[in-house]
A and B are shown apart, each in its own frame.
Chain A
Amino acid sequence: MIKSSVGRKMVMAVTGAGMIFFILVHLLGNLTLYSGPAAINAYAYALHRFGPLIWSFRLVMFCMFMLHLFFGIQLTLENRAARPQSYAVRNERATTFAGKSMVWSGLLIGAFLLFHLLQFTLQVINPGIAAASHPDPIGRPDVFTMVVLSFQRLSYALLYIVSLTALALHLYHSIQSSFQTLGLNGERTFPVVTVTGRVAAIMIFLGYAAFPIVIYMGFLR
């Protein structure tokens, strides 16, 4: 199946859908931030008590990410090679900026993910506020303080908003694209899937971008 380009795209659609599902769950979890230190610290503490389960989950996420990345780059290179001589004049009538920049938004998301993991999972970017070594009053890692102190810095807040824009662009095209690739589209559902996918991409962006904005503006401290 993965010999075929159609099959490889289906792998991309399925792994992409899996990662979108994670993004949604992650957003829901992050909402505990609004309830203050007690809520998010308890949430983070509870998650980590799953132990081996969390590591198998991370392994699955890693495999999905790597498959998506590998096939994405491979297919892009094949597609570029399919048109060695470009047009002098090109007048596009259907595609979007988001659709044409998929590989670049994808690579940006990948780079951001690496930074994000170093910052909030491995906590090596700012060891001075690392939650793992700075427990809250009842001994749980103080995730709240780590996140709030990070986003009080303009550079981090901006970095997150730029990276989230890349994510929004990627999803703007890819949600409808994955439906089409998996053959889940028909003539009647086509406009619904396209619009819903775009709205979802924008909602996810707003949901996530709210954290650095709210914290930088000083509403959460």
Chain B
Amino acid sequence: MDLTLYVWRQSGPGAKGRLEEIEARGITADMSFLEMLDVVNEGLIKTGREPIAFDHDCREGICGMCSQVINGVPHGPQEKTTVCQLHMRRFKDGDRIYIEPWRARAFPVIKDLIVDRSALDRIVQAGGYVSVHTGGVPDANAVLVPKADADTAMDAAECIGCGACVAACPNGSAMLFTAAKVAHLAALPQGRAEAARRVCMMTEAMLKEGFGSCSNHYECQAACPKGIKVKFIAKLNREFIKAQFSKKSE
């Protein structure tokens, strides 16, 4: 199939970008979206043009690197799918496809479709961890975790930190990401010790990084390739209220 792409081209951070029309010819339905871009890039290189810069790593849907907004939807039209797992059979001959990077103040564009998502790492550094002693490996099941709690923690831990929630949010908020981390650790006994401090530090870091605030549009839930639910945001809010009454929040 032949497609017309409108790709965001930006030479570097802070540079003025624009949408460039690029023809994609001879695309087969079995290609993944990234493979389609690989083929387009080979064509661009052959004709002496600058290839499209885009992020990718695992290409199996678990690393969260492929940050592209396709026709106005982060990760494209297929639900619970990253761009690398989106296949061209979802498109048809003659389609016009708009490809843009994640757009948020906290995610500056590095080049074309590549954005700097390290703001999410700094939110995790602010409290998205459990402090443990180094040394011998503790016995498995030494700390008892009820099955339901383990399941909740695992559901929240599915977050791959791709940033689609931020890209989808009308407010550019990282609330679903932060809530997934907070809820994941708050569900486990190992995470309770630092729960109050964690929620305060992580939400503060989120604001400091320039993300917006959640106003409950739930676009994040619709865009999340891992199906993280907004119930975790309600959980974060409960943890925040609890932390206000805790002496351990400092």
- Which residues of B are at the interface with A, using a C-beta cutoff of 8 A? 6, 8, 19, 69, 71-73, 98, 100, 103-106, 170-173, 200, 203-204, 206-207, 210-219, 221-223, 229-231, 233-241, 244
A194 → chain B, closest Cβ, in Å?
9
Identify whether the interface residues of B are mostly helix, strand, loop, or mixed. Answer: mixed
- Number of A-B contacts defined by CB within 8 Å: 131
Within 150-193 of A, Cβ neighbours of B (below 8 Å) are at: 173, 176-177, 180-187, 190
Do A93 and B73 touch (CB < 8 A)? yes
- Cross-chain contact of B237 among A1, A8, A10 (Cβ < 8 A): A10
Bound-state Cα–Cα, A94 to B164, Å: 14
Give chain A residues whose Cβ lies under 8 Å from the Cβ of B240. Answer: 4, 6-7, 10, 183
Within 62-108 of A, Cβ neighbours of B (below 8 Å) are at: 75, 78-95, 99-100, 102
Do B237 and A183 touch (CB < 8 A)? yes
Bound-state Cα–Cα, A177 to B171, Å: 15
Q: List 16 A-B contacts (CB under 8 A).
A: A4-B207, A6-B237, A6-B240, A9-B215, A82-B104, A82-B105, A82-B211, A83-B105, A85-B103, A89-B98, A93-B219, A94-B219, A94-B222, A95-B219, A180-B230, A190-B231
Do B71 and A187 touch (CB < 8 A)? no
Classify chain A: how many residues form its interface, as a range.
35 or more
Residue of B nearest to A86 (CB): B103
Do A88 and B6 touch (CB < 8 A)? yes
Bound-state Cα–Cα, A148 to B72, Å: 50
B165 → chain A, closest Cβ, in Å?
12
